Amino acid sequence: MADVVDEAEPPETTDQATPRPRRPLLRVTVVLIVFALLAGVLIAKVLVPRSSLTSNQNDATADYEAAVAAGKPIYVLFHSLT
């Protein structure tokens, strides 16, 4: 008996099987744009002063009076240290 060697046929190459060329410049550009947008939002939040009805830095009485005058709901938090 003769030994039969099973020779596999080489796979056919198609356009779908070839990997697409990567575009590292495009990816870097997108990452830099997203980073710039996030940095811009952070800087805008830090630099632009905003008045609020409630703040740790404002006077509580003034905040209460401003809320009553504006007709905003007032929430009171009671906290016990014991």
The tens digit of pLDDT for each residue in 14-69 reads 556 566 667 888 999 999 999 999 999 999 888 877 665 555 566 778 888 888 89
Which distant-in-sequence residues (6+ apart) come within 8 Å of 54 by Cβ?
63, 67
Q: What is the pLDDT of residue 16?
A: 61
Tokens standing for 67? Answer: 């809320």
Assessment of whether the complete model's pTM goes beyond 0.85: no
Name the burial class of residue 63, with classes exposed (0-12), middle (13-18) and buried (19+) by CB atoms within 10 angstroms of its CB. Answer: middle
